[in-house]
Structures are given as C-alpha cells and as structure tokens.
Amino acid sequence: MEAIAVRREGGNATVERIEKPRPEPSTGEALVRTLRVGVDGTDHEVIEGVHGDFPEGEDHLVLGHEAVGVVEDANGTALEEGELVVPTVRRPPNGTNDYFERGEPDMAPEGQYLERGIVGAHGFMAEYFTSPAEYLVRLPPELAEWGFLVEPLSITEKAVEHAEATRSAFDWQPESALVLGNGSLGLITLAAFEREYDRTYCLGRRERPDPTIDIIEWLGSTYVNSTETPVSEIPAAYEAMDLIYEATGYAPHAFETIEALAPNGVGALLGVPGDWSFEIDGGKLHREFVLHNKALVGSVNSHAGHFEAAIDTLAGLDEAFLDRLVTGVYGLDEYETAFADDDTTIKTAVEFASHEER
C-alpha cells in the first residue's frame, strides 16, 4: 500500500510517497481503510524535526494524526465492517499504564505514551492502518467528509473542559471569549465559541485582505490585529476576556493573557514554544492572578471522550464555514500541495479513498 512519510538525511527532511506492506490487525485490533487525513502545524513541526520522534529503529515516520477511515476488517472486535471511525492519537509505549487503563492517555507524562504520526509511532497517512478498537471512535456517516476535523476539535474540547473545570468552584458566567491565533485550530475553535459565548474575538497578525479575517468576520466575530493591539492592551481597546484560548505558540502571549483576562477569567494554553527568555512585570502579573482570582491551564492531546464531544460539536457547525475553512483536499498524486504553508492555505487534507466510492 502507499503511505506518506518523512525521511531525514543529514539536516534535510523530505516528505515522500512510499510503499509499505498493508498491516495485519492483531487480536483486539481492527483494520481501517483510510479516507482522509488532515494536515496541521504539528505535522510541519514533525517534518522540520523540532517536535516528535521516529519509531525506534525506523528510518522514516508515516505522517498524519487527524484521520477518518472506514472499518475494512473488524477482526472480531465490537466494530462492524463499513462503520466510519476516527482514531485517537496516543498509544501506550510498552504494554499499558495507569493513564491508558483509566481512559486518560492525554494526562500521561512524557515517556508514558507514543503518538501516532508524531512521537515514536507511525501515523495514519497510509491506505490502511490498524488500531486497537478501543482507540477508534465511531463517526456518523453524514460527517464522513469532515471527519478529519474531529481530532483538532477534540484538542479544543479538552482544553475547554479543563478551563471550565478551573472555574467550577463558583458560579462562572462567561460572556466574552478570545482566540489567540487565526490558524486552522484557532478558526475551528472560534466557530465553536461563536455558538457558546455572547462576544468572540480572534487575534492574528495578518493585514486585510486575508481569507482568515474574512472567515472571522463571516462568523460574526471581531478580528484583533496584534500588530496594532498587543494582547495586554485588548481590555482597553475591546474588553477584558472571560476565556482566552491560546493557539499561537508565541510565549509572550501566555503571560500577556493574564492581563487580558477579566476578573475570574481563565486562559487555556495550547502552544508549544521553544526556549525564549524575556522580561515580564512578574509582580503585576502575580498580583493580577491573586486579586482577580484568575487561572491559567495548559492542555495537550485529548481522550476518546473529547473525540465524542468533538463529533457533537462538528455536527453543529455550519457547512458553509467548513467549506471556507478547508481550502483543499488532495489525492495522493497531489499530496505535496496539502503540505503547502502560505497565506491562502487554511486547512488541507490528503484523500486516500473517497467515502462515496467504498
């Protein structure tokens, strides 16, 4: 079967179409025929070599962690052939561990997980993949086309669940929400927020005309240009925010978020920056945390429950929004286009098989 993998020789990484044997499901595993696999910022970091690891002893890593597929061989599991499924990303490294046993692989610390397509395990960008049935989440057939968006939405479901948990000891009544970052994760999160909060904002550093700004405004949200309004000045320029969702990986944003929050507000951090030292007014930020009961919470990955919540959220999103968000779905012959990273590309996927054809 065909797969898309990254290889590294010297300092050079190449993304290639490769031939691999079709995998055989072990006991408890199903064989899945891949339909579509999304591309995101993490894939680009994996390709650049700044994030993730190849599987032990391998000279390549099959890419892809945002997949949707159809069960080809249920192999005696509770699944049925023909069912649509979305795979979760983390797998136990050696046998299992407590985090996986209790269904919370997203809370496992480093060394206690692999991530398919990212950390030490091949991804889903292949014509077929196998997976233990417990890591395959059923998807309604009408969502087949958009199923590769379940994994990124699940990241948001977890981050928001954890952010809301921080505010669960009192009667929190959030009205305003700000998304930092107008990449594909930021935009799909904004679309979900638009349904939950009275007033939403999305921050980016692009100038008009720009397709992401068009989407932000089409959603009914307010675009905040970070080159004109730094995060710390958003309360003065717009309003203080009850919820801030950081999806930029730009470290100063994590700390400016404290100032941009309204009293009793919470910031969810999702970016993964490299080391970067800079000055902050730590006394002021510490005081702000305390006197206004603010919280910051980091969030990574997601568990099967978040995938299920993401499927519900996806079903409620406007198809017109999804059409604008997904700027391209490319067959194997044009897979390179799916990895383009320019200002007209928002969200792309590689299509291995069409849902209609199966």
Of the listed pieces 89-97, 189-197, 293-301, 343-351, which binds a copy of itself according to CB under 8 A?
Answer: 293-301
- For 269, the token pair is 């951090």
Contact call for residue 161 and a copy of itself (CB under 8 A): yes
Binding test (CB under 8 A) with a copy of itself, winner from 36, 91, 116, 167 = 167
Of the listed pieces 160-168, 199-207, 338-346, 348-356, which binds a copy of itself according to CB under 8 A?
Answer: 160-168
Question: At closest approach, how far in Å is the CB of 189 from a copy of itself?
Answer: 15
**10's torsion region: left (phi>0), alpha (psi -120 to 50) or beta?**
left
Considering beta carbons, is residue 78 or 165 the nearer one to a copy of itself?
A: 165
Considering beta carbons, is residue 180 or 349 the nearer one to a copy of itself?
A: 180
Contact call for residue 12 and a copy of itself (CB under 8 A): no
- Long-range (24+ apart) CB contacts under 8 A made by 194-198 are 194/219, 194/220, 194/221, 195/316, 197/242, 197/243
| Residue count (the chain) | 358
Cβ neighbour number for residue 45 with a 10 Å cutoff: 15
Contact call for residue 357 and a copy of itself (CB under 8 A): no
- Flag whether 351 is marked binding: no
How many residues make contact with a copy of itself (CB under 8 A)?
55
Binding test (CB under 8 A) with a copy of itself, winner from 57, 277, 356, 357 = 277
Contact call for residue 270 and a copy of itself (CB under 8 A): yes
Binding test (CB under 8 A) with a copy of itself, winner from 65, 91, 116, 294 = 294
Q: Give me the helix-helix angle, 184-194 and 150-166, nearest 10°.
A: 60
Q: In Å, what is the CA distance from 332 to each residue of 35, 48, 146, 339?
A: 11, 21, 18, 12
Instruction: Scan residues 212-251 and list those touching a copy of itself (CB under 8 A).
Output: 249, 251
Question: At closest approach, how far in Å is the CB of 335 from a copy of itself?
Answer: 29
- Flag whether 83 is marked binding: no
For residue 210, the SS3 value is: coil
Contact call for residue 198 and a copy of itself (CB under 8 A): no
Considering beta carbons, is residue 279 or 333 the nearer one to a copy of itself?
A: 279
Binding test (CB under 8 A) with a copy of itself, winner from 7, 199, 213, 289 = 289
First to last CA, the chain: 17
Q: What are phi and psi of 226, to 5 degrees?
A: -70, -15
Could you tell me which of 188, 241, 184, 253 has the C-alpha nearest to residue 42?
A: 184
Q: Give me the helix-helix angle, 150-166 and 304-316, nearest 10°.
A: 110
- For 87, the token pair is 């795979």
Of the listed pieces 17-25, 79-87, 99-107, 220-228, which binds a copy of itself according to CB under 8 A?
Answer: 99-107
Contact call for residue 264 and a copy of itself (CB under 8 A): yes
Question: At closest approach, how far in Å is the CB of 116 from a copy of itself?
Answer: 17
Give ∠ CA 37-43-44 in degrees, rounded to 5. 135
* Dist CA 106 CA 98 (whole Å): 12
Whether omega for the bond prior to residue 109 falls within 30 degrees of 0, making it cis, is: no
Question: At closest approach, how far in Å is the CB of 42 from a copy of itself?
Answer: 12
Considering beta carbons, is residue 43 or 106 the nearer one to a copy of itself?
A: 106
- For 132, the token pair is 């233990």
Question: At closest approach, how far in Å is the CB of 282 from a copy of itself?
Answer: 4
Instruction: Tell me if 237 sits within 8 A of 260, measured CB to CB.
Output: no
- Flag whether 205 is marked binding: yes
Cβ neighbour number for residue 157 with a 10 Å cutoff: 24
Annotated binding-site ranges for NADP(+): 182-185, 205-206, 270-272, 299-301
Residues of each annotated binding site for substrate: 42, 115, 151, 301
Sites of contact with a copy of itself (CB under 8 A):
102, 104, 106-107, 109-110, 161-162, 164-171, 249, 251-252, 254-255, 263-264, 269-300
Annotated binding site: 42, 115, 151, 182-185, 205-206, 270-272, 299-301
